[in-house]
Structures are given as structure tokens and as C-alpha cells.
């Protein structure tokens, strides 16, 4: 009798397993039939800026990003300047995603009326699945031209003296859904430097990260270490910037504190004249708005 009951239970379970497994087996069939796909990591950083420096991201294909960056004056500028509220430094920028791997941008900075133009190339994209790649690699190249009047009009001035260049190799990785990190060795070439003691070729090492504290808010921080003894005639320091990214529907707001005065890579690296310790801190924000210019093929 006992055996019969066992047998019955066993058979029942076996039958149950077969019907439940029929659909699982069909799923296996699908999995075997499916072509392997590559899962590319998206949104390593929310915008093309970690805080003030470039992130590994480029504008999405066919999309135009309008970036409005604003820095107030230094906090240590005293009550006369309302601790920086009276002054402002602005950069208006446009970026466009030409292809998946090429982005182009231009910007106008109120600091020395500087125009900057750049291209960023996404060489490698972090991915898993069929194609595995542990990190994203973006190369950033920029040219900046300041257009204020010559400081000394009596000497012979060349147009090329207005130009400086920045190149960055940005290596980034998204570790899980919350945390992203990048390192960015940076090379800046300044055509004309103030004194014989100053180097024309300046090297810095950038590192930046993002930590998502909610679905739409993240804390970002960024450090650009300026290797010493390259700029001697003027004070020049490494920069540290920290802030919050807040994402709404079509905008990303970045609110931050930084000791960098400039807003383009050339000036961030070479013209940061004060430190956090002496109160040379600027309150700033970036507002990015994205527009779809060319729709994906299926929607044209």
C-alpha cells in the first residue's frame, strides 16, 4: 500500500515536471536558436561632463546637446563681491553626435573670449555578451583660441599665440548600475606661455567618478592632478570639483563646487590659480538640454 502511494506521488510529480518543463524546454529552444547579442553599457555618465571635465560619453547619434555652464566668482572674494555672486564666467556649448563613435562640439567662453572646438572619438565601448569589453575608451581632442585684445600690442603678435590644444585619453568603466569611474591622462599644449620658465607641454592626470544615490540623482567628483614644476610664472594648481547631477525629463542639472575658474579643458588644467584651502572656490552649474535632430532610421 505504502509503495503504491509513493508510486502515485512519484508519477504525479513526474507528470507535473514534464508539463512545467515543456515551456522551459521551448525557452531553451529559443535560447539555442537566438543569435548571440552584445549588450553595450549605457549611461556610464549622465552627460558629457563628469563635473567640469569631459566624460567618456559623447552626444548620442543624431542628437544635439546644448550646454550652458556658469561659474560664479570665488567664495574668498569678500563681501564687496558678495562672495562671488557678483561675478560670473559662462560657457555656451553645442555638441552633436555624428555617429556612434564620433562627437563634435564648439563652445564660447566669457573667460578671455575663448572659442573652443573639439572632437571626441569613442574607440571602445564597454560591453558584455557576444563581444566582451571591460571598459570604454574615448579620445578627446580640443583647440582653444582666446580672442581678447593683445596684452601688449607694441610687440609683434602672431595669431598662433592665441591657440592652445588639449588631448585626453579617457578610460572609463561602469561598475554595476550605481558606480562609474574614469581616468583621463591629459596633455595640454600652449603655443605662447608667459615666461621662459613655463613649459609649453603640460601634463595632468584626471580621475572622476559618479555614484547614483537615486534613479535620477547622482553625486560626482573629479580631480585633475597637475604634475608639478610645469607652470612657474603664475600660480597653477590641481583642480578638485564635486557636485550633484539632477536629471529631469529632458535636462540634466549639475550643481557643483570647484577651484577651477575656466570651463574648457585648456584653462581648467593650466589656469587654476587658487586652491580649496585658501577659499578659491567657485559655485557653478551646468544645464544640458538634449534635442533629437536626426531620428533613427525606423522613425524617418
Q: Which residues in this chain contact other proteins in the complex, by CB under 8 A?
A: 7, 11, 14-15, 18, 21-24, 26-27, 29-31, 33-35, 37, 39-40, 42-43, 60-63, 97, 176-177, 215-216, 248-250, 290, 292, 295-296, 298-299
Q: How far is the CB of 249 from other proteins (least distance, A)?
A: 6
Which 8-state DSSP code applies to residue 227?
Answer: P
The three-state secondary structure class of 112 is: helix
Nearest approach, Cβ of residue 247 and other proteins (Å): 8
| Min CB(169)–other proteins separation in Å | 25
For other proteins, give the closer residue by CB, 99 or 234.
99
Q: How far is the CB of 29 from other proteins (least distance, A)?
A: 5
Nearer to other proteins, 39 or 197 (CB): 39
Helix (H, G, I), strand (E, B) or coil at 61: strand
Distance (Å, whole) CA 164 – CA 172: 25
188 within 8 A of 178, measured Cβ to Cβ? no
Whose Cβ is closer to other proteins: residue 186's or residue 286's?
A: 286
140 backbone dihedrals φ, ψ, rounded to 5°:
-120, 130
CB nearer other proteins, residue 134 or residue 296: 296
Minimum gap (Å) between residue 9 Cβ and other proteins: 12
Q: Which CB sits closer to other proteins, 7 or 139?
A: 7
C-alpha to C-alpha distance for 62 and 295, rounded to whole angstroms: 7
Q: Which is nearer to other proteins, 28 or 87 (CB)?
A: 28
CA distance 265 to 92: 14
Bridge partners of 256, per DSSP, are: 243, 284
Strands, DSSP E only, in the chain? 38-40, 63-74, 88-97, 102-109, 114-124, 127-129, 136-146, 163-175, 179-190, 201-212, 217-226, 239-247, 251-258, 282-292
Neighbours of 259 (CB within 10 A): 22
Grid cell listed for 157: 603678435
In the complex, least distance from residue 168 CB atom to other proteins, rounded to whole angstroms: 23
C-beta closer to other proteins: residue 37 or 82: 37
Least separation in angstroms between CB 21 and other proteins: 7
Amino acid at each position: 500500500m505504502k509503495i503504491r502511494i509513493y508510486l502515485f506521488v512519484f508519477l504525479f510529480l513526474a507528470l507535473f515536471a514534464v508539463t512545467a518543463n515543456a515551456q522551459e524546454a521551448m525557452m531553451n529552444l529559443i535560447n539555442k536558436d537566438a543569435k548571440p547579442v552584445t549588450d553595450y553599457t549605457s549611461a556610464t555618465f549622465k552627460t558629457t561632463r563628469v563635473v567640469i571635465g569631459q566624460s567618456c560619453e559623447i552626444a548620442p547619434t543624431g542628437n544635439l546637446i546644448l550646454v550652458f555652464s556658469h561659474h560664479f566668482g570665488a567664495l574668498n572674494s569678500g563681501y564687496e563681491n558678495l562672495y562671488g555672486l557678483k561675478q560670473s564666467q559662462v560657457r555656451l556649448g553645442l555638441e552633436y553626435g555624428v555617429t556612434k563613435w564620433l562627437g563634435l562640439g564648439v563652445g564660447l567662453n566669457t573667460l578671455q573670449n575663448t572659442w573652443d572646438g573639439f572632437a571626441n572619438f569613442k574607440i571602445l565601448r564597454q560591453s558584455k555578451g557576444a563581444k566582451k569589453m571591460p571598459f570604454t575608451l574615448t579620445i578627446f581632442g580640443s583647440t582653444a583660441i582666446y580672442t581678447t585684445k593683445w596684452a601688449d600690442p607694441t610687440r609683434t603678435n602672431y595669431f598662433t599665440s592665441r591657440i592652445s590644444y588639449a588631448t585626453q585619453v579617457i578610460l572609463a568603466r561602469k561598475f554595476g548600475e550605481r558606480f562609474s569611474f574614469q581616468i583621463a591622462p591629459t596633455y595640454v599644449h600652449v603655443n605662447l606661455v608667459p615666461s621662459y620658465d613655463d613649459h609649453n607641454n603640460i601634463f595632468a592626470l584626471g580621475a572622476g567618478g559618479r555614484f547614483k544615490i537615486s534613479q535620477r540623482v547622482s553625486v560626482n567628483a573629479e580631480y585633475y592632478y597637475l604634475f608639478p614644476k610645469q607652470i612657474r610664472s603664475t600660480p597653477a594648481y590641481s583642480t578638485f570639483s564635486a557636485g550633484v547631477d539632477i536629471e529631469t525629463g529632458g535636462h540634466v542639472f549639475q550643481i557643483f563646487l570647484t577651484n577651477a575658474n575656466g570651463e574648457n579643458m585648456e584653462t581648467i588644467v593650466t589656469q587654476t590659480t587658487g586652491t580649496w584651502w585658501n577659499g578659491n572656490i567657485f559655485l557653478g552649474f551646468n544645464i544640458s538640454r538634449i534635442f533629437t535632430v536626426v531620428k533613427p532610421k525606423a522613425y524617418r
